Amino acid sequence: MATLLHHIQSWMQKSIAEFEARVENRMEDMMDRKVQTVNNHLDAFKPSPRNTFTASVALTRDRVDDTLRCPI
């Protein structure tokens, strides 16, 4: 009986170590996905070159309109 328990104990320790490694890898993958999701959401708030250009054109248009409205 002691010999059987000795063999089971080593198998259980190996099994537990493998399980812990799998769980750690899953947690790392999950955290990587969460970080990627957050970064994607933050990228949505960054102005793209097109939005910057559109804002610049709108600002120039407003300045021209203001200049044309001024009485001489």
SS3 26: helix
Q: What is the pLDDT of residue 28?
A: 95
**Position 14: which residue type?**
K
Give residue 12's pLDDT.
Answer: 92
Q: Which residue has the tokens 């559109």?
A: 54
- What is the rounded distance in angstroms from the CA atom of residue 9 to the CA atom of residue 23? 21
The C-alpha atoms of residue 55 and residue 65 are separated, in whole angstroms, by 15
pLDDT at 15: 94
User: With contact defined as beta carbons under 8 Å apart, do 55 and 47 qualify?
Assistant: yes
pTM value is 0.51
Amino acid making up residue 29: D
Low-confidence residues of the chain, pLDDT below 70? 1, 44, 46-51, 70-72
